Amino acid sequence: MATPASSQPHVLVVIQNLPFRIDRRVRTECRALTDAGYRVSVICPQEIRDEQDRFMIDDTTVYSYPAPPESVGVAGYVREFLVCWLQTARLSVRVHRDAPFRVIQACNPPDTYWALALLWRVLFGVRFVYDQHDLCPEVYEARFGRTGFLHRVLRLLEGATYRTADRVISTNTSYQEIAQARGKVPADRSVVVMSTPDAELMRRRESLPELRGDAKHLVCYVGIMGPQDGVDRLLAAADHVIHARGRTDVRFALLGFGDSLESLRRECTERGLDRWVQFTGKVDHNAIGRWLSSADLGVTPDPPSEFNDRSTMNKTLEYMAHELPVVATDLTETRRSAGDAARYVAGDDPKDLGDAILEILDDPERARAMGLIGRSRIEDELSWKRQAEVYVGAFDGVTGRVAVHPA
């Protein structure tokens, strides 16, 4: 039986870096809340131009605003943050007018919405949950190779967010350790909710031969394409596979978008790889499912850095959900997530990455076993059902609500 709207605690979720429709973590979180009897609204940038400014997805009400132009340079990022913050503040008033909310969840990056949450707390006693997706100071250092003034500003914003939050949700234990040590977040206000896929919704389905073309093997990358994500290393590895090793039977599909997409496309052409490498650009969950269901292997090429070592890569978990063996840079949280589902390489030489890809492709029995290990981890040890219980429990705690979880 559905919970009456009048008795549903209302949660407002704020996202800036992705539209709600393609943010798998946040969509899964919101589904867990609505299944548990919460009312949920989301504020985010539009996915497409002229999108409706209010619509429903998965029982969640989405309020969207026009995304600002792509940022270039520090001034561009500051302008983007300011425009998005003001748009979010405007829409939060509209959401509250439609139905008063009791909790704001802010998903970073950026770490700027603590100020909006503080304003709503002062005015109406709204509680604040911080869902920390990224370590923004470490992202800055990984992207630009330096610290300095802006790094200190990011640390200050992160610290203000930690101090303001009633609960801090970390995506893994490494992030939680930083929240508790650097952010001085008490243990009773800190929980870990991994970005594991819902095993019922994300699974291997029918393979589509047209996606691999005339190639024997299809290798996929899914994710953001920024300077810190290692897609340039994957292109160098593909160059080694095709030109040095002469393996023209391997096709690479790179799914996603980001600051480096255009420069990567140029590099691909310069390396003479256009025949074997396809960039899809931004894709939705259904398209990701089609590609990964048709692939033979997934790659996590993120280079070693403090940020990458502490981060759980969503793409690795999505490969595992689709029963794909993984070739990955040997990073702490990647190893914790994938275990024996991955073949690990050092981050120094892209040739090692290329050789490891061929090693797995040429051993189908091993590849199949690795894929089954990964799928088993998604269904059991890393299951979203376990994560959802912790996630909803955090909201039950801040609202004082008696848990009413579905059977």
Domains of the chain, by residue range, sit at: 5-196+383-399, 209-379
pLDDT of 406: 42
Query: Is 182's pLDDT higher than 80?
Result: yes
Segment 332-355, tens digit of pLDDT: 999 999 999 999 999 789 999 999
Contact (Cβ atoms closer than 8 angstroms) between residue 61 and residue 30: no
209-379, what's its fold?
Answer: Rossmann fold (3.40.50)
5-196+383-399, what's its fold?
Answer: Rossmann fold (3.40.50)
Cα gap 173→191, rounded to integer Å: 9
The DSSP 8-state label assigned to residue 301 in this structure reads -
Cα gap 362→343, rounded to integer Å: 13
CB neighbour list of residue 368: distance below 8 Å, 6 or more residues apart: 325
Query: Is 363's pLDDT higher than 80?
Result: yes
Query: What are the Cα distances from residue 148, in Å, to 137, 144, 155, 160, 241?
Result: 10, 11, 11, 19, 39
Cα pseudo-dihedral 85, 50, 12, 393, rounded to 10: -120
For residue 124, what pLDDT band results from cuts at 50, 70 and 90?
very high
Query: Is 2's pLDDT higher than 60?
Result: no
Cα gap 263→266, rounded to integer Å: 5
Cα gap 290→318, rounded to integer Å: 12
Contact (Cβ atoms closer than 8 angstroms) between residue 43 and residue 30: no
Stretch 88-102: mean pLDDT: 97
Using only C-alpha atoms, the chain has a radius of gyration, in whole angstroms, of: 21
Cα gap 110→307, rounded to integer Å: 15
The DSSP 8-state label assigned to residue 402 in this structure reads P
Cα gap 379→320, rounded to integer Å: 10
Centroid of chain to Cα 279:
19
Segment 230-268, tens digit of pLDDT: 999 999 999 999 999 999 999 999 999 998 999 999 999
pLDDT of 69: 80
Query: What residue type is assigned to position 239 of the chain?
Result: D
Choose among 59, 52, 69: nearest CA to 10: 59
Query: Is 146's pLDDT higher than 90?
Result: no
pLDDT of 229: 92
pLDDT of 400: 92
